[in-house]
Structure 1
């Protein structure tokens, strides 16, 4: 009976030590498996991690407090080879203001260098900025106290632009061909064209509304209204 106890105790101890060693192991890719020259100069530490994406600029979908904001290019950096990627922004105050964040109310942004790519996370208490590399999403969580009160689908003026220079034409057309047999096979052709033309140049918008009527070869054109406008 004494021998049985000793064997069981040793077996349990061996399993415990083996389990601890197994948990502590980290999968490492062996560079010797690569059939390349000068392997000593190859740094493949990035591939030993689950997140294989290197630092750089990625086009990502930005979600703010669970709501899709927009898709834009964001710079992601890595503080050290073992750290996760995190977002950073140049002109950070302008960028975060466009996100609806009350930057002017946060003292941590008073003396920031707008020419340097900065991490916003440590400057906004209680916030989180998680990069989902699989979905190319930047999930941002900001306490409501630091967010502007905005109507649904509100677009910040910092994101407005004048659009592109363009000529636009919208129209409606209808026509008919009528054959009347009771008056000696009389035929009538009529058509109606409604034109809504536009020209966009910079902030200026030129608009015209006109119509064209034809009946049996006779045409009548009317320019009903023309106007020009711009934002001020």
Structure 2
């Protein structure tokens, strides 16, 4: 090799070694001190740029920015957000509790679990990452997007089948008639026997009121035709109470006491005003996801519910199991492929309802029967979901010389659905004797 080539190779090697030493020294210096940016390398026009916030790890300097707000990777809204420097010098978004409510934070659930103070003000700043385990807020400066991650258990959810009362329709003014006719003729050795029947269901709607009549016309050979009205009543929705008010000839509910025909007034809950998942009963499915996971709920080997959840606790209250029993299998499929499974028992009695749901009725009127006395009476019943697996119910019936009280409960347990109730009654006979029983 020529001499100048050897010298050149030596110089390159020596410079490379010097570069390595400089890198080692720079690494040692960075580990002992904070990063500093030299703004001399920036070509700036106008006012100089303050780089200290980037040195602290901030994505943007303090100020107000119009950003897209995402909750669990779902775009919710666009809004101007103020970024201010905290005690450590990092610029962080200033988010209020009211804003988290708008994004979908279930504040009531968080307060119930003791994560948020009951007297917390909506307008005050709120750090969701320190208040709720698993929650986080990240700012993507490239896309001007603020990513908010909140465990599914604390996200406000609308039940499947939910329809906002503001779009409910009371119907148009109209009259209708529904009929069913039946005619029979039997002939036997020259003798004819006829029978006819006409069932009618008539009604009309006007100004939110609904008039209904159920009647029948029956007759036949050797029998005088007779027209009888079974029920005639007027009713109207009561949206605030999720029920309806009725007046006329009606029947009492039969969940707790025997259903009887009466003439009077009644206000009772209307199941048609409830979302689909609140009509029946099903257990609440709870668990914890370690990553962005998929959760499957199976019954008898069939998938009846599937949902994607963010990291943290999740809670499903809107599943539709089939039948009145059948254990549920829950499978959590993590983002890295890990799978965890567990089982939850499921069995219930017809009187049971979900936690927080209320079914009620209040009746006052006169008992109607063709061959018995018609005393006046007042009756009230209620069914309430106390917990996810416990339903309480009861009622009271007061009439002339008679009263009865009922109290019971329904339980979803590992050994099956169980319900039990006790009715205590007291009556007086015509001769003044008092009878009591349970």
Q: TM-score range by the shorter chain?
A: 0.3 to 0.5
Q: TM-score, normalised by structure 2?
A: 0.26
Q: TM-score, normalised by structure 1?
A: 0.46
> More helix per residue: 1 or 2?
1
> More strand per residue: 1 or 2?
2
Higher RCO by CA contacts (8 Å cutoff, separation 6 or greater) = 1
Q: Look at both structures and tell me which one has the larger radius of gyration over its CA atoms.
A: 2
